[in-house]
C-alpha cells in the first residue's frame, strides 16, 4: 500500500506558474474529489483543463497532467497540477489534497518510490540530486549520463564475471561428483581477481576525474604576506574581490571566489599570509590558512620572484604533502625569466601559465566529459571496498586457502556490487540517500 503523497515541485515563491504533485494508490480517487473532471478512466497519460475546488469553492483554474501507473515517474498513479504561482493558491491546493486523504511527501519521496518500484536504480536516483545541484554545463552532462542509466552499465561486466564465478564455485561445492562440469580452481579465481581489480582501478580513476568535473575542486592560495596572493585571486576571478595593499597582514580571513575553467567549477580560497605573528586576529587567520591548505584538493604556493627567504622555506615544508603548484609572482620586476619556474604577474594580469598548469594538474581532457563515470562519493567508496575484498581474495587464493573460505569473501564482494545500484534492497541506505533530496522530488 503506497499512501498518496503531495508536495510542491517548484520553488515556494511567487511566479507565473507552480506545480503541485501527487502520487500513490489513491491518487485518482483524491484528485477526483478536488477536480472538476473525472480522471480515473485514462489509459496512460492525459492532459486535463479544469478547476481545483475545495468542496464547492473554486480554488484555481489549472492544467492537470494525469499519469496512470506504471506510466509515471514513480510508477504509481500520479498527477501534476499546474496552477497559478501564488503561495496562497499552491498552499491551498496542497491543503485541499491533505483534506481529501493525501499526506505531505518527505524529501526525495517521489524518487524513492521510483526506486522502490524498480524505475530507477540507486546510481540513477543519486544523479537526480546531482543534476539539480549541478553548477556547470559539464557537471550537468555527467549527472545526465548517470540518470539515463549509462553509468550503471559500467558495473555490469564486474557483476557478470563475479556472478559467473560464484555460480561455478557453488556448483563445484554442491555437486562434487559431476565430472563434466568446469572446475573452479585457484587459477580461475586468480585470473578473475587480476582482471577485475584492474577494471575497478580504471573505474575509480575515471570516477575521481568525473567527481572533479561534477563537484568542482577547491584550491587554496598560500604564501607569506605580500607575495601577491590576493592579487592572484583577483586576477583569476577577474574582479576586485580581495583587498590588496602593500601592508603585510591585510588579508585576515579567508576570501572565497568561484571560477569555471574548462567547464570545471573551481572554488578558490585566498588566505592570510603565513608568518610568525603576535597579533591575535592575524594569528587566527593564519591558523585558518593552514587548515584550508590541508583541506583543499590543490594548493597554489606563491613566492616573490625577487626574494626567497627562510619564511618561504617554511611554506614549502607546509605544502610538501599536498598537490601543489609553485608560482613566482611579480615577474614584471624580474629582468630574466628562466623556464624552470612558473612566473606570473598578478599585477599585469599575466596569469595564463598558472591557468594552464591548473588544467594540466586536474588531468582532464575532453574525453572525460563525454564518458559516463562513477563520480559519486558513496559509489566510489563502495568500489574501494570491493577492490579491497578482491585484493584479499587474491592473497588467500595465492596461498591456496580452501575454495569454500574464499567463496564467502567473493559473496561479500557480490553484495557490495549489488549495493552500488541498490539491488541489495537495503532500504535504510536508500532512505538516507533520498533524505538529502528536496521535497517534491
Ligand X SMILES: Nc1nc2c(ncn2[C@@H]2O[C@H](COP(=O)(O)OP(=O)(O)O)[C@@H](O)[C@H]2O)c(=O)[nH]1
Interface positions with ligand X (CB under 6 A): 223, 225-231, 244-246, 250-251, 273, 329-330, 332-333, 345-347
Nearer of residues 203 and 244 to ligand X, judged by Cβ: 244
Q: Which of 134-158 are b and which e, b meaning 16 or more Cβ less than 10 Å from the residue's Cβ?
A: bebebbbbbbebbbeebbbebbeeb
- Asked whether position 251 contacts Mg ion by CB under 5 A, the answer is yes
Min separation Cβ 303 and ligand X, Å: 10
d(CA 25, CA 40): 12
Strand, coil or helix: 46: strand
Number of residues in contact with Mg ion under rule CB under 5 A: 3
Nearer of residues 136 and 251 to ligand X, judged by Cβ: 251
Q: Find which of Mg ion, ligand X, none residue 329 binds, CB within 5 to 8 Å per kind.
A: ligand X
Min separation Cβ 349 and ligand X, Å: 9
Pick the closest to residue 329 from 318, 313, 338, 342 (CA basis).
342
- Asked whether position 230 contacts Mg ion by CB under 5 A, the answer is yes
**CB closest to ligand X, residue no:** 228
48 to 63, 100, 189: CA distances (angstroms): 6, 20, 59
C-alpha cell at 436: 538529502
Contacts of 239 (CB under 8 A, 6+ apart): 257
Min separation Cβ 347 and ligand X, Å: 3
Min separation Cβ 134 and ligand X, Å: 32
Min separation Cβ 230 and ligand X, Å: 3
Q: Find which of Mg ion, ligand X, none residue 210 binds, CB within 5 to 8 Å per kind.
A: none
Pick the closest to residue 325 from 287, 284, 356 (CA basis).
356
- Asked whether position 226 contacts Mg ion by CB under 5 A, the answer is no
C-alpha cell at 175: 555437486
Q: Find which of ligand X, Mg ion, none residue 332 binds, CB within 5 to 8 Å per kind.
A: ligand X
Helix (H) or strand (E) holding 190: helix 186-215
Nearer of residues 23 and 231 to Mg ion, judged by Cβ: 231
d(CA 232, CA 21): 48
Q: Find which of ligand X, Mg ion, none residue 246 binds, CB within 5 to 8 Å per kind.
A: ligand X
Instruction: Enumerate the β-bridge partners of residue 103.
Output: 5
Nearer of residues 78 and 305 to ligand X, judged by Cβ: 305
Which class for 307: exposed (0-12), middle (13-18), buried (19 or more C-beta within 10 A)? exposed
Min separation Cβ 265 and ligand X, Å: 23
**CB closest to Mg ion, residue no:** 251
Q: Find which of Mg ion, ligand X, none residue 346 binds, CB within 5 to 8 Å per kind.
A: ligand X
Contact criterion met (CB below 8 Å) for 245 and 264: no
Nearer of residues 223 and 372 to Mg ion, judged by Cβ: 223
Nearer of residues 231 and 397 to Mg ion, judged by Cβ: 231
76 to 27, 116, 127, 139, 421: CA distances (angstroms): 9, 11, 21, 30, 21
d(CA 182, CA 165): 11
Nearer of residues 179 and 247 to Mg ion, judged by Cβ: 247
- Residues near Mg ion (CB under 5 A) are 229-230, 251
Amino acid at each position: 500500500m503506497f499512501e498518496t503523497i503531495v508536495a510542491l515541485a517548484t520553488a515556494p515563491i511567487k511566479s507565473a506558474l507552480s506545480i503541485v504533485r501527487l502520487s500513490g494508490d489513491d491518487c485518482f480517487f483524491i484528485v477526483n474529489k478536488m477536480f472538476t473532471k473525472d480522471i480515473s478512466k485514462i489509459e496512460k497519460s492525459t492532459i486535463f483543463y479544469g478547476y481545483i475546488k475545495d468542496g464547492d469553492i473554486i480554488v484555481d483554474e489549472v492544467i492537470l497532467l494525469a499519469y496512470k501507473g506504471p506510466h509515471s515517474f514513480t510508477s504509481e498513479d500520479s498527477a501534476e497540477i499546474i496552477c497559478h504561482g501564488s503561495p496562497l493558491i499552491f498552499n491551498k491546493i496542497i491543503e485541499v489534497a491533505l483534506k481529501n486523504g493525501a499526506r505531505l511527501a518527505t524529501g526525495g519521496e517521489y524518487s524513492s518510490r521510483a526506486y522502490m518500484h524498480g524505475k530507477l536504480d540507486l546510481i540513477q536516483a543519486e544523479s537526480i540530486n546531482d543534476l539539480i545541484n549541478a553548477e556547470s554545463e559539464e557537471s550537468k552532462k555527467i549527472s545526465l549520463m548517470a540518470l539515463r542509466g549509462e553509468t550503471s552499465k559500467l558495473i555490469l561486466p564486474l557483476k557478470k564475471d563475479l556472478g559467473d564465478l560464484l555460480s561455478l564455485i557453488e556448483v563445484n561445492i554442491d555437486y562434487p561428483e559431476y565430472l563434466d562440469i568446469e572446475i573452479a580452481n585457484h587459477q580461475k579465481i586468480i585470473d578473475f581477481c587480476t582482471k577485475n581489480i584492474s577494471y575497478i582501478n580504471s573505474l575509480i580513476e575515471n570516477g575521481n576525474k568525473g567527481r572533479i568535473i561534477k563537484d568542482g575542486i577547491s584550491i587554496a592560495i598560500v604564501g607569506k604576506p605580500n607575495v601577491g596572493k590576493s592579487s592572484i585571486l583577483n586576477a583569476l576571478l577577474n574582479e576586485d574581490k580581495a583587498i590588496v595593499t602593500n601592508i603585510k597582514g591585510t588579508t585576515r580571513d579567508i576570501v572565497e571566489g568561484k571560477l569555471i575553467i574548462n567547464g570545471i567549477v573551481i572554488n578558490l580560497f585566498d588566505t592570510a599570509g603565513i608568518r610568525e605573528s603576535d597579533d591575535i586576529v592575524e594569528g587566527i587567520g593564519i591558523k585558518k590558512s593552514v587548515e584550508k591548505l590541508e583541506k583543499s584538493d590543490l594548493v597554489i604556493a606563491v613566492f616573490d620572484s625577487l626574494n626567497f627567504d627562510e619564511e618561504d622555506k617554511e611554506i614549502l615544508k607546509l605544502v610538501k604533502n599536498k598537490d601543489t603548484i609553485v608560482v613566482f609572482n611579480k615577474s614584471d620586476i624580474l629582468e630574466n625569466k628562466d623556464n624552470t619556474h612558473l612566473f606570473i604577474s598578478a599585477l599585469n594580469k599575466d596569469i595564463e601559465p598558472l591557468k594552464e598548469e591548473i588544467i594540466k594538474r586536474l588531468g582532464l581532457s575532453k574525453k572525460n566529459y563525454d564518458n559516463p563515470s562513477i563520480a559519486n562519493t558513496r559509489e566510489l567508496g563502495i568500489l574501494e571496498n570491493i577492490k579491497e575484498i578482491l585484493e584479499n581474495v587474491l592473497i588467500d587464493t595465492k596461498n591456496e586457502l580452501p575454495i569454500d573460505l574464499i567463496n564467502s569473501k567473493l559473496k561479500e564482494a557480490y553484495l557490495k556490487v549489488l549495493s552500488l545500484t541498490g539491488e541489495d534492497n537495503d532500504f535504510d541506505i536508500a532512505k538516507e540517500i533520498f533524505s538529502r533530496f528536496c521535497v517534491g522530488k
